[in-house]
Amino acid sequence: MTGTEDLEQFIHRQENAVRKYQRLFKLAEFVILTLAIYTVLLLVNMENAFGLVRALELYADKSYDVASLTISFSTIALLLISIGISLIITLLLYRREKNTSVILLAEEKYPVLKERLRTAYDNRNLNNVIINDLIYSVLETTKEIHSSAFLDKKKLKVIFILLIFTTSALGIVIYSDFRTDITPEGMKEVIDNIPGIPDNGDTPEDYFPSDGDGNEAGKENITGEPVVVVVEGEEVDLSIPPGSESGFTPTGQEDETQPEFKPSSSYEVGQMTAPAYREELPEGYEPIIKSYFEELTR
């Protein structure tokens, strides 16, 4: 293998290492943004916003079994929203990213290669004594250079700290169920105006016509949409089908025949002395007590 091939292999290997580190940094930043956005959504009670949207009202209280875990629809939806927002922000941050020059980066980290590495690589296709000697001297220096030297350790520390912080913050919010006073009810008008989301402004008058005095017009909404309410994630139809009350209309032909009863046998009404009448009475008071109870039985 010639010195030119060795030099090209070195540059190619370091370029792959730098791209790998950059991808890892982007992934870490994406995860940090997702965790931070999800934490903020929980703090402002956005899991309650799905019940305000008619198209999602049916699913607001549903849960799904994933492996041995039970995950609610609101958790999945908030996580997807967080991922989407984080993805958009990450793409915007790196939309004008320029490729990092490994040669310039190596010369910055190793001043002994300054100008020499660049000159040797630009003239690698030339074959003369001066260029060959330069390439070999550069290769001798690059033997001590490892791919880990191109890892931005300061940026790695910052990302590691932010990852720990966002993970801890999310864990505290979930474990303590801490929430702010901000609720999605205050943003209902904004949610209703989002394009693509059906209007949630239906009122009972849309289903039960009124005669203007607050009373129903007496007509059933047969051709309109059924009246439904959501109970534990399930739609319950409350509309009354035509003629369902016909069985409760009085006809005036009720059976007036009185049932026959057999009277029970009568017994003579008599008087019975109370057991206390036979108890031993205090000496000297028998006549008074007897007269008292005789008065009570009259």
- Ordered by start, the domain boundaries in the chain are 1-187
Helices (H), the chain: 3-43, 73-93, 102-109, 116-122, 129-142, 153-176, 188-192, 286-296
Dihedral sign computed on CA atoms, order 81, 84, 85, 87? positive
CA–CA dist 45, 40 (Å, integer) = 9
The CA-based angle 4-10-13, given to 5 degrees, is 140
Residue 218 token pair: 């007496």
The CA-based angle 34-35-40, given to 5 degrees, is 100
pLDDT for residue 27 is more than 90: yes
- In DSSP notation, 155-174 reads HHHHHHHHHHHHHHHHHHHH
- CA nearest to 227, candidates 217, 216, 239, 215: 239
Residue 208 confidence class, pLDDT cut points 50, 70, 90: very low
Which residue in this structure is represented by tokens 């939806």?
77
- Mean pLDDT, residues 199-215: 49
Amino acid sitting at position 173? V
CA–CA dist 239, 206 (Å, integer) = 13
Query: Average pLDDT of the chain?
Result: 76
pLDDT for residue 190 is more than 50: yes
Coil, strand or helix at 91? helix
Q: Are 108 and 150 in contact (CB under 8 A)?
A: no
- Residue 41 has a pLDDT of 92
- Mean pLDDT, residues 95-124: 86
pLDDT tens digits, 31-89: 999 999 999 999 988 888 877 777 777 777 788 887 777 888 888 889 999 999 999 99
- Residue 171 has a pLDDT of 94
Task: Calculate what percentage of the chain has a pLDDT beyond 90.
Answer: 21
- Residue 228 has a pLDDT of 60
pLDDT tens digits, 226-276: 556 555 556 666 666 655 555 555 555 555 666 665 666 555 555 555 555
Q: Are 19 and 150 in contact (CB under 8 A)?
A: no
Residue 204 confidence class, pLDDT cut points 50, 70, 90: very low
- Residue 282 has a pLDDT of 64
The pTM score is: 0.59
pLDDT for residue 289 is more than 80: no
- Residue 218 has a pLDDT of 47
